[in-house]
Structure formats: structure tokens, C-alpha cells
Structure 1
Amino acid sequence: MNFKAWDDVALGQFWAEALGWGVSSEGPGVTNVEPHGLVVPDPAAVCIDVVSVPDPETVSYRAHLDFASTSLTHQAQMVTRLKELGATSADIGQGDVPWTVLADPEGNVFCVLEPRAMYADNGPIAAVVVSCADPRAMARFWNEALDWTLHEVTDDVARLRSTAGVGPYLEFVRVPDITVWTRVHLDLRPYLRDDQAAEVARLRTLGAADADIGQGEVPWVVLTDPEGNEFCVLTPG
């Protein structure tokens, strides 16, 4: 996951404390948040890169994180702790729902879910959720794009998960108005010794398109999926 931020260090520290993870940095303006002792590739890990940009308010993506809980008491404790770290309550029109919607210190929305059996062994992140118009179409693209397993696809939701059966789900959820956005997108990293250019070419044949977001000369490639969601293909690692 890639978060655009005014202050990568402060926002990275929030997410590290929220998840119980560590922080590092691959360079100025970038804070990497990842599980302690991470060895890549790890099928259970969905890491977070927080990147400072001049104006994150102009960056629009449609993704957010869902936190998992093990009980209603645990859910309430998590909400309290996250607010102590700097999160605030958020109203996105969710109405009366069993989950709690919060925003991080820079306004990125995320949810703390009520206990659900399907997320019991996921770790702190239940799912990476992407709002979309057509979950079936998104499932077709991302099922081919990722080396993951498609677990469910309906008119309303599509769920994928690591082939190892561990870690968070990647979920595409149909919403009536996908103009609602956060400053979060997906980054894909090819397997070690894979070829980045070949992977980009493969994704293009699946329906990805090139995107220019003013990135200039960078080692990653920016693409969009069939619904226009931007994502990056990093160098192998």
C-alpha cells in the first residue's frame, strides 16, 4: 500500500504504532512501515510506504484498509487506542453499521471491523478494500494480475487472497458513487529475479494502461487498472 502524505515520518509513525510494526526509510520523503523481522517475499505481509508529496489533497485513489478484531471488546479497545494515537471518527455516510469508521491524522479513512470469522487468522489487517463500479470486471483483471487466489466474486464484491491462504484479503466492493476517495493506492513488486519490463508488458495485455501522474524519471512504472485506479509496478525484490 502506498499512502501520499504531507509528513511521511509522522504518518508512518502513526501506522507503525497502529499496526504494531516497525519503520525504516529507503530515502528522503519515504517512510516504510512493515512487520518486524519481515523477510521478502512474505505472503502474509501487506506493507505500507508513506510518501511525502507537495500536495496530497490533489491525489485521488479509492482504497482503504480494514482492521480485524477478535471480539466486540477487542474492537472497542482498538478504536480507543487508535484515537489515542491520533485517529478521529469519520462520517462517510455509513449510517448504522457494526464497524467503526476512523480517519488517520492526515484524513485517510479506514475501518475497524466487528469480529468476523473469515478474518480470524489475517493479522491486524483484515483487507485492503478498493471501491469500484464492477467487482466482476475488477476480479477478472486482478485475478490475472496477481499470483493470488480468487475466493469470491458477486455483483457486489470480489475477494482475493495470497495462494498461501494467509494475510489480508484484497477486496473490490461495488459502491454507487466512486467519486469518494482517499490518498492510497496499490504497489506491486515482481518476484525476485523477475523482469519488471516483462511484468509491465503482461499487465498491459490484461487491460492495464500507462499513466502519467507527473512521476518523471523514476524506477517504478505507473499504470491504471480497467477502472482507472492507479497502481505502481516496482523493481523486483
Structure 2
Amino acid sequence: MLYVVATPIGNLGDITVRALQVLKSVDVVAAEDTRHSGMLLKHFEIKKPLLSYHEHNEAMRTAQLVERLTADENVALITDAGTPALSDPGARLIRACIERGLPLTIIPGPSSILAALVGSGFSTERFYFGGFLPVKSGQRERELRATAERGETTIFFESPYRLTKTLAACTGIIPDRQLCVARELTKKFEEFRHGIASKLLAHYEAHPPKGEIVLVISQL
């Protein structure tokens, strides 16, 4: 059985009882970063073999894990934070299991996407998640122009090093839309900052952001 296990996005206290039960019971844990996940397992006194599973070895590791799953081993798939396959490795292994009829289950848990959406105060009835905004300015602006035409709340991941560039682009493309910068979710310096793009740009130019960022854009 493949167990796709969500792990904390910052606060270790957010791990679920079921996630701990699974991690203690499987034969092997496939992890995006074995050093990072090793510290997580050590914190909860879990001793299991760790196997790296990341974007650079995903194809090779998928074949190896499928072989182990076919032999009736139990495998837990985790990433550094949150749920595998959401802007993280994992989709290839999940598809391989589906194609071969191998059993799998999802162990849900913390989500920066949902935490940011709810904390934004914007409509939660319908929303669009666009993953990471493109690095190149032209592609990023095209994505933001598409957002301007979209009726639902929109959510993006963004790097702290590019946030001011994105907010500057927003001032020209969606100047009147309410935005929320959700930063360092569940951690000590968690922040939800609301306002139009120009207001947020002025703040973050004066106070360069650090940490992981989710940008939420209000509906039309």
C-alpha cells in the first residue's frame, strides 16, 4: 500500500495522529529531503528506512518503489512540508500506482493553501490555485492578467525574493483588487497582511520579506 502522507508546514504540533500511526507502521519512507524528514521522524521517535524521492530522481525512484509496492511492502510518501504532489514530487508515483492497480490512500493534513485562503478573509466558495508564479516577468504578468479576468479567489505560491516584483506588476494589472500576503504560516512569525498592491508593495520595500509566502488575490 502507498500512503501519501501530509506533514506539518511549519508547526510540528500540526501532524495528525493518523500520520504518526502510518509512519510508524510502514516498511520505508520515501522523502523529498531525507535530512529534513529524518529530523521530523527523530522528533517523533520514529525509526524507519528513508529513501530520497525528489524531482531529480523521481523517474528512477518511482520504478523502484513500484517494485516494492508490487511485493506487498507498505510505503509512505512525504515531502518537506504539506501534501505530496501539490507543487512537490509525488504525482508520478501516484499515477504509476493507479495505472498498475496498486492500492493507495491519502493521509490528509496541514495545507498552506487552505490556511492562506481562510486567513485572507476572501470568498472561499470558489478558488483557483496556480502553484508558483513564473520566474520570468513576461510569463508572470500574463498569469496576473489571466487572474484579472478570473471571477474566483486566486492563490499563488511566491518566493520572498520576487514578492516585490510581483506586487509591482499587480499595481499595474490589478491595482484595486484586495490582496493578502500570508507568510510563515503556522510558524512563530506568521503574518497575514492585507491591502491593495501599492500598499503592500510600500510595506515590503521597506521591510524585505523572509520565509515562505502564499499570495491570495480577492475575487472580482
Q: Same fold (TM over 0.5)?
A: no
Q: Rg larger in 1 or in 2?
A: 2
TM-score, with length taken from structure 1: 0.27
Identify, as 1 or 2, the structure richer in helix.
Answer: 2
Q: Which has the higher strand share?
A: 1
Higher relative contact order (CA 8 A, sep 6+): 2
